[in-house]
Structure 1
């Protein structure tokens, strides 16, 4: 690996999900990060407080700057360390404007989408040897994929080799149904390796990506309570009818459609649920207020995961929303990662916005492979204190046939 660690800068750094994997890797040194900390557009800059979480865990104070406005030269000058001829640049702009989960994105090009192409300015200024970006698959195949096309064309014009593909991240051991696009670009004199290359010939056992594996061992807590040994093992307060509705749903994957046909439970259905019944849209709406299933991956954890009414975020058997800690683990964060802030809702948002560190650690190993030519053993890519284990790897059938 060499004696001097490779420098890493993270733009749109959030709560540190992408950086966490590099921080845990001995070959890399985080030298700068930047995030404007937007909670919602209506709340303005600094609202989500993710930079404090980043600093508490990764020992770097991110610059609180608007990357839609600041020039590449000005940003580089503000960085606390030299970023000229950088080894690794990470940039994961907001995915909200591309996501198919938001209906208006089919027709309206969100202004935030332009941040993707703007990243090329920072690449041109810092000249990283390796560049990586994560976003939703619609970055590559959606109605507004021209933003990625512009970025790719600019990178290639600078001499970079570019690879972009989408993946179900459970393929790499994440206990969650999360599909994401990954973009890797390398300088022209470097080899281009990807997660597919890292995992070639191997897969993970099905039980490795279940909710049970990830969070079943955590101690019980009541809705709205905080465990005395872990301030992040805390959930949204539910009471009255909201709590009774969850309590009425069957354990281990139950949801509000299970309340239909029973007069004593139908009273908990809200108007939007009855509209879904009338329109025959149970399948597309049943995750709302639903419980997770023990022996399946969690559903996609989104930024508005702080309430049971926003998705299947209820605990498989306890009558409550999953805690910040539980969703953090399901998002691939180490179990001792500290989420910092006065608003519990914003802690949930920090998690939903994040790149899963369980995966970013693997990306860090891919970057090290690209920079040094030394392919890691798959056993090395397991991020400590996450739900993935070394004994979860199994050779694929094709690999087994090759060995025979």
Structure 2
């Protein structure tokens, strides 16, 4: 096939969703847009993700805000790359901050940014893609403000699309991280809609392949604040307070947390006032994840935007006394080991990673789109993204397992 299927990414970020299509030989990204906002209170351009996107994809995203950019104006801008051809895939992973259950206000208040979900319909109407693809927080489909998704679904169906939305725990597809996300795929009515579970039907990933040990144990040890000379992204922040370092040094290796220190004689000096209050109440809740270590033989916890500090979650190395490095965190997020992150500070690199769709998953979604567009199912071995921790031997056939566990009826004997 000489002609590539075309892709536009409306919230391109550092390129997590785009990269899966960029790495697939049958797709070509013809447009990307991102306003580079690092967090709700920050100004445009603060995330500095577009330069990293360009370094990895070879395409400079438009520094535009989708909330105000008119679809027709975007089409005019992209005329030279898209031409008059119909668009094949439109990606729009709008910010999930307004839906995420980790923010208490989201259980009560409908964040204005949630309206970006419905705004996608305007771009679908303008570009008429064969496939529309979106990723967001699980609460998009099950939270208090699911009407945003329901309205989008109704409008897409009105425009002639079949729509499938479902929450997935992504380590089932090989991600070394327990990450639950909503995936929405809409397909033109004249084609057959396919999903991730269709792609993986009859196969599964070996459990060990989703563990932290498999993903990052081969990286060389480093001290906090000291980069590895062979990979400048294999670096973790230093400690501004010695108490934080001492606390981490005393936390048990391989999955320990500050809660393990509550009976330690030095606890009053090592633990923060908030930790001591939780102990006094006897209600630790999810608070032990703060300053916690990852476990070698489990998937990582969900990597979130603010993962640049050990006090923000269970992001410390299983053994070494430091935060996981930029490179380690990106591997746990399904990025290839040669992916480039660029920003004026490490905190933005961590944010770029936490905000991203895991490329290990987006590459599989690209194969789902290939199946829809071509009518031919890709081989399961072809869905493994190069330079990630996942290997062909990590995929097992459920049919083979059934054959192995099959037992002959008792009345049948096998000749010796």
> Please, what TM-score do these two structures have when normalized by structure 1?
0.97
Local SS of the residue matching 2:90: strand
Deviates more, 1:101-110 or 1:36-45: 36-45
Q: Distance in 2 between matches of 1:221 and 1:398?
A: 42
1:71-107 Cα offsets, whole Å, 9 max, x none, are: 1111222225226520011110001110111111000
Deviates more, 1:179-188 or 1:256-265: 256-265
Give the superposition deviation at 1:281: 2.6
1:29-87 Cα offsets, whole Å, 9 max, x none, are: 01110000001222210000011110000011000001111111112222252265200
Q: Distance in 2 between matches of 1:37 and 1:272?
A: 33
For this pair of structures, how many residues does the alignment match? 403
Q: Distance in 1 between matches of 2:307 and 2:6?
A: 33
Local SS of the residue matching 2:184: strand
Local SS of the residue matching 2:223: coil
Give the superposition deviation at 1:266: 4.2
Local SS of the residue matching 2:234: strand
1:206-256 Cα offsets, whole Å, 9 max, x none, are: 100000000000011111221111111111221411111111111000100
Query: Are 2:111 and 1:81 aligned?
Result: no
Query: Are 2:331 and 1:329 aligned?
Result: yes
Q: 1:399 to 1:366 in 2, by over 3 A?
A: farther
Query: Are 2:6 and 1:4 aligned?
Result: no
The residue that corresponds to 2:16 in the other structure is: 17
Give the superposition deviation at 1:396: 2.7
Q: Distance in 1 between matches of 2:33 and 2:198?
A: 30
Give the superposition deviation at 1:402: 11
The residue that corresponds to 1:212 in the other structure is: 213
User: Residue 35 of structure 2 contacts residue 65 of structure 2 at CA under 8 Å; is this kept in 1?
Assistant: yes
Query: Are 2:167 and 1:166 aligned?
Result: yes
Q: Distance in 2 between matches of 1:228 and 1:281?
A: 44
The residue that corresponds to 1:225 in the other structure is: 226
Question: What does 1:136-285 correspond to in 2, within 5 Å?
Answer: 136-239=137-240, 240-285=242-287
User: Residue 6 of structure 2 contacts residue 82 of structure 2 at CA under 8 Å; is this kept in 1?
Assistant: no
Q: Distance in 1 between matches of 2:20 and 2:405?
A: 32
User: Residue 201 of structure 1 contacts residue 398 of structure 1 at CA under 8 Å; is this kept in 2?
Assistant: no
Aligned alpha-carbon RMSD (Å):
1.5
Q: Distance in 2 between matches of 1:176 and 1:396?
A: 22
Where does structure 2 lack aligned partners over 5 or more consecutive residues?
A: 407-416
Local SS of the residue matching 2:132: strand
Q: Distance in 2 between matches of 1:161 and 1:403?
A: 39
Give the superposition deviation at 1:278: 2.4
Give the superposition deviation at 1:201: 1.3
User: Residue 94 of structure 1 contacts residue 112 of structure 1 at CA under 8 Å; is this kept in 2?
Assistant: yes
Q: Distance in 2 between matches of 1:298 and 1:400?
A: 30
Query: Are 2:33 and 1:34 aligned?
Result: yes
Q: Distance in 2 between matches of 1:171 and 1:217?
A: 22
Query: Are 2:63 and 1:61 aligned?
Result: no
Q: Distance in 1 between matches of 2:9 and 2:404?
A: 40
Query: Are 2:327 and 1:319 aligned?
Result: no
Local SS of the residue matching 2:270: coil
Local SS of the residue matching 1:185: strand
Give the superposition deviation at 1:282: 1.7
Q: Distance in 1 between matches of 2:142 and 2:400?
A: 30
Give the superposition deviation at 1:175: 0.2
User: Residue 262 of structure 2 contacts residue 279 of structure 2 at CA under 8 Å; is this kept in 1?
Assistant: no
Q: Distance in 1 between matches of 2:282 and 2:146?
A: 32
User: Residue 130 of structure 1 contacts residue 185 of structure 1 at CA under 8 Å; is this kept in 2?
Assistant: yes
Local SS of the residue matching 2:259: helix
User: Residue 204 of structure 2 contacts residue 398 of structure 2 at CA under 8 Å; is this kept in 1?
Assistant: yes
Give the superposition deviation at 1:156: 0.3
Q: Distance in 2 between matches of 1:190 and 1:43?
A: 42
> Please, what TM-score do these two structures have when normalized by structure 2?
0.94
